[in-house]
Amino acid sequence: MKAAKTHQYEHDDEEMNAMNADETSQSINKSSHNPYSSVYYCAQCNIQKRDRSTYHCPDCDVCIEKYDHHCVFFSKCIGGGNICAFWTTIGMVFSIFIGFGALVIFDAVLR
């Protein structure tokens, strides 16, 4: 009985090694970029990029389409999917600061 189970586990190990070898060869093929091809792969993630504006953020460890920057205040990458929300938030915060500044100046003038 034990010999049969050991043999089964050895067979599973061989299958896993073969699958890992296939994955390694695929990732090597992906990371080697053909300069005449329009398909790009991330060197860190090995995922296919849609275009050259996709960038791998070292802080988040993910690829971001139309990457702009990594915001330390939001702790997120700012890119194509959230750039409008980012600028809206910045505009609202700026408006609040201007509004409170105007109130402080108005209060100082009245006293």
| Residues labelled catalytic | 71
Neighbours of 13 (CB within 10 A): 10
Neighbours of 63 (CB within 10 A): 20
d(CA 64, CA 16): 32
Instruction: Please report the sign of the dihedral spanned by the C-alpha atoms of residue 40, residue 27, residue 29, residue 15.
Output: negative
